[in-house]
Amino acid sequence: MLRQKRRSTPGEAFERLVGIMAALRGPRGCAWDRKQTHESLRGHLIEESFEAADAIDRGDIDALPGELGDVLLQCVFHAQIGREAGRFDIVDVIDAISEKLIRRHPHVFAPDGRLLTKREQARHQATTPEAVREQWAKLKADEQAREGRAQRLLAGVPRALPALLRAHRIGARAASVGFDWPEARDILAKIDEEVAELRAALDESPERAKDELGDVLFSIANLARRLGLDAEAALAAASDKFTARFDALEEELAARGTNVHRASPAEMEAVWDLVKTRKPSPSPPPSAPPASPPRPTSSPSTSSSSREATRRRVKAEDATPPSPRRRDRS
Please report the pLDDT score of residue 280 as a whole number. Answer: 61
DSSP secondary-structure letter at 89?
Answer: -
CATH 1.10.287.1080 in the chain: give the residue spans.
11-103
pTM over 0.85: no
Count of beta carbons in the 10 Å neighbourhood of residue 222: 24
Please report the pLDDT score of residue 282 as a whole number. Answer: 53
Amino acid sitting at position 239: S
Please report the pLDDT score of residue 298 as a whole number. Answer: 41
Please report the pLDDT score of residue 314 as a whole number. Answer: 35
DSSP string, 45-80: HHHHHHHHHHHHHHT-TTTHHHHHHHHHHHHHHHHH
Report how far residue 105's alpha carbon sits from residue 87's, in angstroms, rounded to the nearest whole number: 28
What CATH number should be reported for the domain whose range is 11-103?
A: 1.10.287.1080
109-116 own/partner pairs: CB under 8 Å, 24+ apart: none
Spell out, as residue ranges, where the chain has pLDDT lower than 50: 283, 285-330
**Per residue in 38-56, pLDDT tens?**
999 999 999 999 899 999 9
